[in-house]
Amino acid sequence: MMQVDGVDVLMLCAVPVEWESLKEMIVDPVEDPILTDPAIRGRLEFDGRALTVALVEVGMGLSPSAMATLKAIEKYQPALVAFVGIAGGVKDVRVGDVVVADKVYSYEVGKVKDGQFQSRSDTRVVSSALDGIARKLRASHVADEYRLFVGAIASGEKVLADGNAEELGRIKALGGDSLAVEMEGASILGAIDRVDANPDYFLVRGISDLIFNKSEADENGGQELAIRNARDAAMRLIRAWDASAEASFPVAQVESDLLAAGLPLPSPTECFILIASPNSPHAEAVVKSGFPLAMVADLDPNSDVDGLLARSRSALEDRRPVHLGAPSSPPPFGTSSTGWVRVQGFDDPAMEVQTWTRTVRRSWRSMLSTLASTIGGRHVVVLVTDDGDGAWNVWRAPLVDDLLTEFGEQALVGILGPGRSIDSDFRLAQQPDVLARALEGLMPPELPSDARQLPGAEGSVEMTAADAGWIGEDATIYWSADPETSGAEAEALDFLRGGEITLAALGVDADVTRTQTAALQKQLLGMLSNRRTLRLNLFHAPGSGGTTLARRIGFNIRSQFPVIFLTQIRAGETVQRIEAISRQTRNTVLVVAEAADVRDDQIAALIDELHAVSLPAVVLAVSRAYSPPSLQSSSPYVPEVLGDSEAEAFVDAYSARAYAARGALQAIASHHDHRRNAFFFGLVAFEEDFQGLEPFVHGRLTGVEGAQRQVMLVCSIAHFFGQSSIPEYALARLVGLPSSRAGGFARTLAPELRGLLWRSNEGEWRTTHPLVAEEILRQLGGGSDLWTQALSGWGRLFADFCLEAEGDDAMQKLLESVFVDRDDDFAQSGPGRESFARLIEKIPSLDGAAQLLAYVADRQPDHPHVWAHAARYYAFRMVDFATAETYAKRASALSPDSSTLHHILGMVYRSRVYDGLGRHVSFDELVPWVEDAAAEFATSRELAASSKDHGFVSEIQMRVKLVEYGIRDKTLANYLAGAPHRLVVSSLEKAEDLISTLRYRGDPRKPSSFEQTERAKLKRIYGDYATSLQLLDALLVRGSVPLPVVRRQLVWTYLARVDRDWRALAPKDVNRVVSLLDENLAVDGYASSDALAWWRAVRMKNPSVSHERVKEVLAYWRSSNPTLDAEYCSFVAYALDVLDDLPASAAEAARHARKCADMARSEGTRTRSVDWYGEGQGMASLVHHSELGKWDPALDFWADTRRLRTIEARVTNIRGPQAGVADVRGMEAFFVPQRAGVVRGRHENEYIRGFLAFTHDGLRIWEPTLLERRTENRLQT
């Protein structure tokens, strides 16, 4: 038996030139005669450290090197094997560079068939920990003498010196990412894999030649240069490996000691807080380990300058985002980020604890309440560093006392270090370096950098760990790489039994392909290719698999477009994360938003933010709907009942894992009702003796009483009515467990109930299926006809359950999902659209539902959406307008900047108007209600992005209804011949004004169906236009209606006569319209409605209005009503000056364009092309988008461009394929270079031709084409 003589490091090489260079590293080398191969022993010395080392020359070729390696490892039993040598470069490298292998391909493994060699993949992969060491070294390496790469190496039997060699083609086919090729790596790594010692290993290769010029490179000293640089890199790697202390202590044993001492394992249900005293080695150890700290309370006022935060922030942010704050200005806390708090404050830190108690402690306590609200009821673990230095003892006690006061039974306290300044639940007294490694061992492995890949417009893009963590605060990223499939089968079974599908389960195709998959995937790919901000609603029946379908499609297309699944939406925050993905990848992002995680109003607000910054993103909103969308809707719908082919696929999928149940599965497939549902296949396959849902649930609920009955009740309400799960800590409270023991909740459940419930990895519980939830409620409530009568009482119990822990955001979200969130969407439009939360709709008694909503609102005096929901119910269902107004006003006062809440108050007033019309009250009695409704709708329009038409449509509908009621069966002409009421005339005028404004601002690609409906109603009202015009002229004399209203109505009547086509107005009518509007502008203070109509009218006037007069009107308009429309029109007017050869106006055009863009920053219409440049001069050259006919989706442009004029422009800036700038007579215009075939670095200062449009964001050139190279420097139009 060979004598074992252990060393720390075994270095291997293959040829003499390598041996001669490497032995220079070894201090006091001694020849070792035991091995037949050349071998020496000695030391490696660095940084005051010495490692024992042996160097062995193993020879060239696969077999000799493998045998020599096995013998060397058997003798020396090393902790690290470093194989260092030279190699030929394949791609991306040059002579002298160094490659550290992250994997090695054996390209000569295969077989010969029919005279052709067929490669078989044989790849050796370096461990992620060692790969991480190499990549960190690469990141910090300064490429003065050589460049350092971490990548693939190919290994085979031959020396390659011919660039046309067959083997080189084989290498590129098998491992196209190979940077270098050599002869021994695969065999040596194979030998290491076979030994019992299991050492760490590196493969380091210096590039000595590039294959094509091997002989020349060797003669010029390429081998000597290569091994010298490889030796330097190897030494750096060994130092980094040693610093990691991977083999210096028994990590596994220390990990067990930590858990035995009482430290909880990191999990989604745990929240860790660190109190760090200055210069604490134990604090450094915890932070260095990457432990998931929700908050660090740092007692060092200079921590971010030269203390713990400054030293560790970069490494820590590779795992999770870090936000710095102080008690008076708290950081944004989150469960996946670290809030780093400077305890003494920022500007004038309170260094004495007495001063701090007097000036800062109140803010500290308030900040802890904010933290508690963010983390919900998670179990809190407070880690207090106490290294035995008593200087900070006076600080630890008050900090811990305040934490325990805030978190109470939820908190455990642990001491880190030898000190005993406070009482604790456990102590971790290990040495700091040992503690750091053990804590790191408790953490799940980091995602390797090559797995953080997203598809870019020009290839794969690697995202940094810091960016991935930051984005991960709001979303789950679907990386391009295949997911880790270890444990996938267990996750697949969990999914088939009713759990949520995971990435691993998607990776092994655990789900069954639905018939909608291909069509929906194709639709989404088309939308993503358009590079616009778009939304698609995916509705699904409860339990039909809509969420799984969305995740499957996201998984399928993740290699073509970046895909994220939102876990929360934060105003101004989430959009920045989507923008970061889009910017880095230069690709359209698919954003999936599921109703269980985010509300529809949050999705709508996010869409507006995406529009405002012109982000190419498609938002797929997945939500439950109990009935299909209307026939007019393009939204896809996943029904509850499976189709024939789907049912057959489900039979096959479930039979594969439970073949004995195949007969029963086929029976399920034979049904054509709700029983042919994905959930029932799971019950039949995995539940013994399943005979039907009712007996299945009944058998498990029999005898359930007390707290366990309440658990089933609240879980069923949450899942059936709110599509939500319940945090484990909340259910633990329900059964009498303290939050610190929430993990023991499952053990308190009766075993039979576990078959009705499902627990997520995040520690949240729900029923296994909405159908199970409904059946539980039915049986708990006494049967099919009785259970809904219990809902009002159950609702109070559920509200109390949610509100038991004050300030718990998770439970607040749960409450709103049940009592506030609705299943209605504009795709669900119809006569009965005034819907409410489904629980409220299910209560048979109107009084019972109203009282429940009032109870929930009274329990939450500061939550506006609950009050608004109650207001709607009292207005629309109870017809109790006084109470409804009280609730709606309260909601609006709580959130005065909410467009939605002002709109709801307007709707309450509008309902009162409609009720009055139904009771035939006088118009005079209606006036104040109409004015109140109009005021709230106007406020809603001001606060909402202009892409939102709710505030327009709701008032238009009210105004048209008033006109229809006033005129009855007459026409407008008949009505005006009598004694017209000012409310009817003003309502007609206001309806026309709002319709005109809505059409002017609207999206030409998707006209508003509401606007078209109301416009058709008005068309029926007018009757004989000539008579109406005469009678309106008469009203100007009589004065019974305010004259500005009459003048505007005259304008709208002229337009109505020509079907509201401004260009169809007769010249004399144009002159009359301009005259009427001029009078209004003079006497009515340049109201925006008059000014905007005037802006449209003067384009048609002949003789034309002077451009100076146009700019004068615009200046008065901006002065009296500084609106976005006023600024936009001013920009267009000055731009027209420039286009008419007045270059001096370019500066004013640019100034107004900038101001317009700033005002439109939050608008969804920022990049919408409102007006276009056509034939004619001055104002006559403007063409509104409504004059261009229909938008052609196939062309992604107008079908008829005859009205438009082309212009030529010089390319000045090409930012990328999707963003460029061209010069139009000294003005900047945006264009898409890709559409014109314009490439950065090649086409700057070339000319393009296209159509010129005016947007709120400036000029834009559409349909650009690249012109042939030209010599003159003038622009032609």
pLDDT in tens, 745-799: 888 888 788 878 888 877 889 898 888 899 999 999 987 778 999 999 999 999 9
Whether 1073 maps to a domain, the answer reads no
**612-620 average pLDDT score:** 85
pLDDT confidence tier of residue 255, bands split at 50, 70 and 90: low
**1039-1066 average pLDDT score:** 87
* Residue 490 and residue 394 share a domain: no
Residue 97 contacts residue 146 (beta carbons within 8 Å) = yes
The pLDDT value given to residue 874: 95
Residue 694 DSSP label: H
Q: Domain holding 486: CATH number?
A: 3.40.50
Say which residue the tokens 């130092």 belong to: 239
Domain finish residue from 209, 244, 279: 244
* Residues 1099-1146 pLDDT 10s: 988 888 888 999 999 999 998 888 888 999 999 999 999 999 899 999
* Residues 1209-1237 pLDDT 10s: 999 998 877 789 999 999 999 998 878 88
Return the amino acid letter for 30: V
Residue 1184 contacts residue 1170 (beta carbons within 8 Å) = yes
State the Cα–Cα distance between residues 893 and 855, nearest whole angstrom.
19
pLDDT at 1273 over 50: no
Write out 440-472 in H/E/C secondary structure.
Answer: HHHCCCCCCHHHCEEEECCEEEECCHHHHHHHH
The pLDDT value given to residue 835: 78
Q: How many CB atoms lie within 10 A of CB 1161?
A: 12
Tokens describing residue 176: 């196209």
pLDDT at 293 over 70: yes
Say which residue the tokens 């939204």 belong to: 635
* Residues 959-1002 pLDDT 10s: 999 998 998 878 888 888 888 898 998 999 888 888 888 777 66
Whether 563 maps to a domain, the answer reads yes
The alpha carbon dihedral of 386, 390, 391, 397 has a sign of positive
State the Cα–Cα distance between residues 1178 and 1105, nearest whole angstrom.
9
The pLDDT value given to residue 249: 46
The pLDDT value given to residue 629: 80
Question: Residues 6 or more apart from 703 whose CB is under 8 A from it?
Answer: none
The pLDDT value given to residue 466: 84
State the Cα–Cα distance between residues 1129 and 1111, nearest whole angstrom.
9
Q: Average pLDDT of the chain?
A: 85
State the Cα–Cα distance between residues 489 and 474, nearest whole angstrom.
28
* Residue 587 and residue 461 share a domain: yes
pLDDT confidence tier of residue 1148, bands split at 50, 70 and 90: very high
What is the chain's length? 1277
Whether 78 maps to a domain, the answer reads yes
pLDDT confidence tier of residue 309, bands split at 50, 70 and 90: very high
**pLDDT over 70 for what percent of the chain?**
91
The pLDDT value given to residue 1122: 87
Peptide bond into 1233 cis (omega under 30): no
Residue 1127 contacts residue 1118 (beta carbons within 8 Å) = yes
State the Cα–Cα distance between residues 368 and 410, nearest whole angstrom.
14
* Residue 665 and residue 635 share a domain: no
* Residue 663 and residue 631 share a domain: no
The pLDDT value given to residue 1009: 66
pTM, two decimals, is 0.63
The alpha carbon dihedral of 936, 941, 944, 948 has a sign of positive
pLDDT confidence tier of residue 269, bands split at 50, 70 and 90: confident
State the Cα–Cα distance between residues 923 and 478, nearest whole angstrom.
59
* Residue 468 and residue 383 share a domain: no
- Look at 420-434, 950-964, 1002-1016, 1105-1119 and tell me which has the smallest mean pLDDT: 1002-1016
Closest to 473 measured CA to CA, from 292, 289, 320, 296: 320
Whether 270 maps to a domain, the answer reads yes
Helices 899-918 and 923-943: crossing angle in degrees, nearest 10, is: 160
> Which residues, listed in sequence order, are joined to residue 44 by a DSSP beta bridge?
51
pLDDT at 162 over 50: yes
- Strands in 533-540's sheet, in edge-to-edge order, are 475-478, 563-566, 589-594, 617-624, 533-540, 637-638
The pLDDT value given to residue 596: 77
Q: What angle do CA 1200, 1202, 1204 make, to 5 degrees?
A: 105
Structural domain total, the chain: 4
Question: Residues 6 or more apart from 1022 whose CB is under 8 A from it?
Answer: 971, 972, 973, 1028, 1053, 1056, 1057
More confident call, 60 vs 931:
931
**227-248 average pLDDT score:** 82
* Residue 455 and residue 336 share a domain: no
- Look at 198-202, 379-383, 1012-1016, 1043-1047 and tell me which has the smallest mean pLDDT: 1012-1016
State the Cα–Cα distance between residues 283 and 268, nearest whole angstrom.
22
Domain finish residue from 244, 272, 297: 244
The pLDDT value given to residue 880: 95
* Residue 333 and residue 275 share a domain: yes
The pLDDT value given to residue 1164: 55
> Which residues, listed in sequence order, are joined to residue 340 by a DSSP beta bridge?
296, 324
Q: Distance from CA of residue 1016 to its chain's centroid?
A: 41
* Residues 1153-1173 pLDDT 10s: 999 888 877 665 666 788 999
The pLDDT value given to residue 163: 60
More confident call, 105 vs 364:
364
**718-730 average pLDDT score:** 90
- Look at 4-18, 451-465, 895-909 and tell me which has the smallest mean pLDDT: 4-18
CA atoms within 13 A on the CB side of 805: 29
Q: Distance from CA of residue 29 to its chain's centroid?
A: 59
* Residue 348 and residue 224 share a domain: no
Tokens describing residue 1017: 């109603």
Can you point out the beta strands (E) in 730-769?
757-759, 764-767
pLDDT at 367 over 60: yes
For residue 502, give its domain range. Answer: 450-640
* Residue 626 and residue 663 share a domain: no
Burial of 376 (0-12, 13-18, 19+ CB in 10 A): buried
Quickly list DSSP for 498-557. Answer: T----HHHHHTT-S---TTHHHHHHHHHHHHHTTSEEEEEEEE-TTSSHHHHHHHHHHHH
* Residues 1-52 pLDDT 10s: 345 566 789 999 999 999 999 999 998 888 877 667 788 988 888 876 778 8
State the Cα–Cα distance between residues 14 and 11, nearest whole angstrom.
11
* Residue 558 and residue 499 share a domain: yes
Q: Residue 523: enclosing H or E segment and its boundaries?
A: helix 517-529
More confident call, 244 vs 266:
266
Whether 124 maps to a domain, the answer reads yes
State the Cα–Cα distance between residues 310 and 314, nearest whole angstrom.
8
Whether 1152 maps to a domain, the answer reads no
pLDDT confidence tier of residue 1269, bands split at 50, 70 and 90: low
Residue 1121 contacts residue 1087 (beta carbons within 8 Å) = yes
* Residue 518 and residue 666 share a domain: no
* Residues 385-409 pLDDT 10s: 998 777 888 999 999 999 988 887 6
pLDDT at 867 over 90: yes
State the Cα–Cα distance between residues 895 and 2, nearest whole angstrom.
81
Residue 950 contacts residue 995 (beta carbons within 8 Å) = no
* Residues 84-117 pLDDT 10s: 999 998 888 999 999 999 888 887 765 545 555 5
State the Cα–Cα distance between residues 232 and 100, nearest whole angstrom.
12
Question: Residues 6 or more apart from 597 whose CB is under 8 A from it?
Answer: 566, 567, 568
Whether 472 maps to a domain, the answer reads yes
Domain finish residue from 422, 442, 462: 442
Whether 854 maps to a domain, the answer reads no
Return the amino acid letter for 563: V
Residue 398 contacts residue 206 (beta carbons within 8 Å) = no
* Residue 534 and residue 475 share a domain: yes
Burial of 1162 (0-12, 13-18, 19+ CB in 10 A): middle
State the Cα–Cα distance between residues 1187 and 1178, nearest whole angstrom.
18
